[in-house]
Structure 1
Amino acid sequence: YARGNNIGIRFALDILTSEYILILNNDVILNDREVLNKLVESASRDNRIGAVSPVLKSTTGEIQRTCTGNTPGFLDFIFVYTFIGQRLFKENRILKRHFNYDYAFDRPKEFGVLGGSCILFRSRAIADVGLFDENTFLYWEEYIIGSKLAERGWKLLLNPGAGVIHKGESCIKNLNLKSWARYWSIKSELYYIRNYASLNTIKRGIIVVALLLETMLALSDTVLRDKKSKFDRKYELKIISVLLGSFV
């Protein structure tokens, strides 16, 4: 994701000399002809706005809360990004705060993280932060770019007046790549924690232990249910290896 987008971004910066650059995933449907104009108009109101995104909606019209987010802290990693928050304590207070459940999408608002499926960058801003960090293959790119923009004083804005339809990982679901996706997501998460999160060694270790427990449960599912399991034993074992390696 990061490396591929950077190829297009460099072309837009060096050859096209574009003022703005739109990142658009292939699982996004543009059902509003004016969405690009709306995003540009929002960015033009303040020259410190580095990125603007629309509201992401599902194919059934529901707003996807993940189109807004806050820079994750220790509890977010536990109660939002592991099975503890996703399975045991669904819709917990920390998750609701992380994804801004108190926001009614009734006004433009600044956030620490914007959904990466459709996002408009000011060219000066994306160039200023050195484009996307290419040390991840997939996932966590929007958190990394959000941290880089914030560090340089750029604002990230959501425009609720602009909206797109986001199918959301349809390829991964259709091809039954859950464990494959988990593998790359966890690798990217660990990279983010090491390089962009302000967490001490103890907190990092607790996060890794929580992810290890989650992976052991997934691996157990592959043993008990065999081919009926939605997880891939090979990739779950690779995840365990990556997590154990993070202690070194």
Structure 2
Amino acid sequence: MVDYLGEFNEIVQAQKDRARQQDIDDLNAELGGYDNGRTKRFLSAETRDAIRGEGRKGKGHHQLSTLEMLLLNPEYSRIYVETQNRLQELAQAAETALEKAEQAAARDRAAYEHGLERAYVLDDGRHVFRDERGIVWDEHDHRINDDVAAQIEWKGHELTREEFLELRDPMRASDKTVLDIREYQTEIGDMQNQMKDPDFSADDLMKIQEKLAEPMPEAIQHELPQIAEQPGNTMAVELPKFD
């Protein structure tokens, strides 16, 4: 059966993508001060005069950074501020999530290390565990040779393979959560620094918007509603002044 609705949605999305790219191209043309043959629809006449050096203060295009020119446009200025605020929210959520994740990881590791105290230890230092089928494994998931396993004198209180996995797997998951949050924090910081770059462009802004639409670590997503509800959490973004 032909998925007409799916095809229609794909066509609509493609049209939106082309329209957005045309907007970026047109804005860049206006910011660059050149005529691309299309109607000027972003910058005011006064702003275009300022870019050409004909404004009241006579600050020309060559004196304005790419970021300053971007923020001359009210719509992109609004998106810029909203994006900065979103990054600030994400940074706060990530900080809270990391604190909780590190505490959970510490608890899981302590439980794991405590459990290892019940494990049988071979002469070479490896911890080994017998599963419900009688097969013996070490902590690295390597099966112990049957001849070696047969020489082990079990006391009956040792940690089983199943018990070991119940301790190890949560610890690994906690460690991964911490790592994922830290990596996402680095990405947030990189985007925040990029937005302060004088060469930051409309295309860069759209790329950050696309990046922010991608999935984030669940631990950070979980903290966002609480961060958004906190009073006074909106960051005051100081836009460049065109002296």
TM range (shorter): under 0.3
Whichever of the two has the greater Rg, that structure is 2
Q: TM-score, normalised by structure 1?
A: 0.23
Which is richer in helix? 2
Which is richer in strand? 1
Q: TM-score, normalised by structure 2?
A: 0.24
